[in-house]
Structure 1
């Protein structure tokens, strides 16, 4: 993650926690050969009025109970383990912590669970925490928007998330753990992330964020944690020769923790094709214009070094965080080569040629 989500945005998580408690109690009742109570009488009094607005909740809850009624004790234990494991945040992001699913072993129960939580997820845009004037989703959106200073998608740093405004469309709210495979986390705000449309619909989709390309569980970035990923162009050769453009090298720190995130969101390819290869010449042209505007003579190498250094210091103020980092790092490399005793003249000629063009 280039930056993370505020844990405060998950505070109004009562829809998920209430449903999980009801399902857990129902399965445990069945384990003890007892009949679970109906949906509405099982809901805590403080939330009954809100849940009553979701007219499909009773039938979807009953469908889940009916499916669990058909199971034996061992199978119901699997349901309880899936319920707990799929909501074991943040521990489930560790490679050695199982996150059980029942998509294959108990397909009917998994589908009943998915139907219930897909409906609950949709109702986040309708239900309100008692005492609040905003819906759960609207409040979540407000807290996330106020926290993310750039207003950009944390997964790519390249796409603006719409502001909370009644005339605008809310950004996609992605299931970090896919609801098809981990339905018990389907309405858990801890598992929901406001995400750019391109990241969500073109790259993430229903991919399993917990598994690598070999279907092995790996360490996963917690979007609500404090782990940030830094990007570097260290190792990039700006002037490889033969008329070729820069030989880009993108590195990420920490590397292992970010591998699955980068793979799913195709981050290296997107940053290289959409930012570096597309924009580096424009960056150089802007640097030259900056020098001209500020009376810096880049026909002299010392002037080119001064212009690059001063222009580099402005790059961190780019709106898009990913571009800000790559642009700053690019000019750090240019400055380093200008100062290099062996390659300095070559880089200076390259920069001067931009001015001539």
Structure 2
């Protein structure tokens, strides 16, 4: 991720943990040969006025008990482990140990748990505090604190302002496998439509398709990364609109390699950067610099004068950081500067850049 979201207030992230506590208490009662405490007495006193009339929650919890009671001892143990693991957020994102899913347990308990937490997730749109639904409170709290109103998973798409049609609230760990985190805001993150619907979809952040465990960034804590293009090679990539672009080498800097690998595997970040931005914008970004140079200095008398002005131009772009993809543009121009400043193709790079100033700007 390019940045982490501010953590949503714990005092407003209570629905998921409340339901989990109700399930744990009821399962313990069943295992002791007793009946679970009935609704709404099973709820904490301060939440009964808010939830007591939510018959959908009451009915779905009641449907869970016979499904749990029908499990054998090993299945009950596995279900309890799934609850413990899936509610161990954010620690589970980075731990190498297993995280039990609900997949493979008997259909009745999978269906009962899925319906309960799917219904709870939908309640986030209707449960209100001071007249505003919790889902909107969470989104506004995040949006207001973001310096750049863009998706941190790709850095390419903007978030809509509060009050506009909402972006999807993505289950970072998919609810089909990690059901017991289905309405926990620590597992629910704003995400642009492209990242959510075109790339991540229902992928598992914790396990690859072959079953191997992987680690991922906590969307609310990080780690976060900067993007480096400095291993790229000028003049060695493909031809785009009659110009040869660099052979792009993208590295993520600033955090564990394993987390960055998962980020790229799921969201196809490097592929999207190359296809949608770097190949398309490389020449226009060079032309932007050439116009800047001519406007400030006129035509260059010496070839080296042009590339020597790149650091000041790059420093100005760095002030924008993530805005308008400046994090990629600065890296592109830094690559050009480094190519001009040394290496076997340095002279060719300097002449190439000078020609944009001399012949490419009218």
TM score, norm. by length of structure 2: 0.91
1:222 to 215, 218, 224: 218
Instruction: Please give the alpha-carbon distance, in whole angstroms, between the structure 2 residues aligned to 1:188 and 1:142.
Output: 17
Unmatched runs of 5 consecutive residues or more in structure 2: none
Distance 1:212 1:186 in 2: 20
Q: Secondary structure at the match of 2:20?
A: helix
Residues 1:269 and 2:265 aligned together = no
* Deviation at residue 9 of structure 1 after TM alignment: 4.3
How far does residue 15 in structure 1 lie from its aligned partner after superposition? 0.7
Judged with a 3 Å threshold, the aligned counterparts in structure 2 of structure 1 residues 213 and 75 are, in CA distance, closer, same or farther, namely closer
How big is the shift at 1:245? 2.3
The aligned length equals 353
Residue deviations 1:231-288, cap 9 Å, x none? 1112111123997421110111332221111011011100111110010100001101
Do residues 144 (structure 1) and 146 (structure 2) align?
A: no
- Give, in whole Å, the separation in 1 of the partners of 2:298 and 2:338: 19
Alignment of 1:194 onto 2:190: yes
Distance in 1, matches of 2:53 and 2:193, equals 29
Structure 1 stretches of 4+ moved >6 Å: none
Structure 1 CA distance for aligned equivalents of residues 194 and 339 of structure 2: 36
1:57-87 per-residue CA deviation (whole Å, 9 max, x = no partner) reads: 1111111112112223332222221111111
Q: Which residue number corresponds to residue 259 of structure 1? A: 261
> What's the secondary structure of 2:54's corresponding residue?
coil
Give the direction of change, closer, same or farther, for the CA distance of 1:172–1:287 in structure 2 (3 Å limit).
same
Deviations 1:281-331 (A, max 9, x none): 000011011112212434522331243222212222447458222211111
What does residue 313 of structure 1 align with? 315
CA contact (8 A) 2:206 2:214 kept: yes
Query: Which residues of structure 1 form unaligned runs of 5+?
Result: none
Q: Is the 8 A contact 1:17 1:188 kept in 2?
A: yes
State how 1:51-66 maps to structure 2 within 5 Å. 51-66=51-66
Distance 1:72 1:45 in 2: 33
The change in CA–CA distance for 1:11 and 1:291 in structure 2 (over 3 A counts) is farther
**Match among 331, 335, 338 for residue 336 of structure 1:** 338
CA contact (8 A) 1:338 1:347 kept: yes
What TM-score comes out, normalization by structure 1 length? 0.92
The 2-side partners of 1:9 and 1:276 are apart by 38
> Using the alignment, how far apart are the partners of 2:237 and 2:266 within structure 1?
33
Q: Residue in 2 aligned with 1:295?
A: 297
- 1:139 to partner: Cα distance: 1.3
- Cα deviation, 1:188-245, whole Å, max 9, x if unaligned, reads 1111111111100111111001012422112221112241112111211112399742
CA shift, 1:128, in A, is 2.5
> Which residue does the alignment assign to 2:159?
161
Measured in 2, the distance between the counterparts of 1:41 and 1:255 equals: 48
Task: Name the counterpart of 2:82.
Answer: 82
1:242–1:271 CA distance, 2 compared to 1 (3 A): closer
Distance, in Å, in 1 between the alignment partners of 2:238 and 2:119 is 59
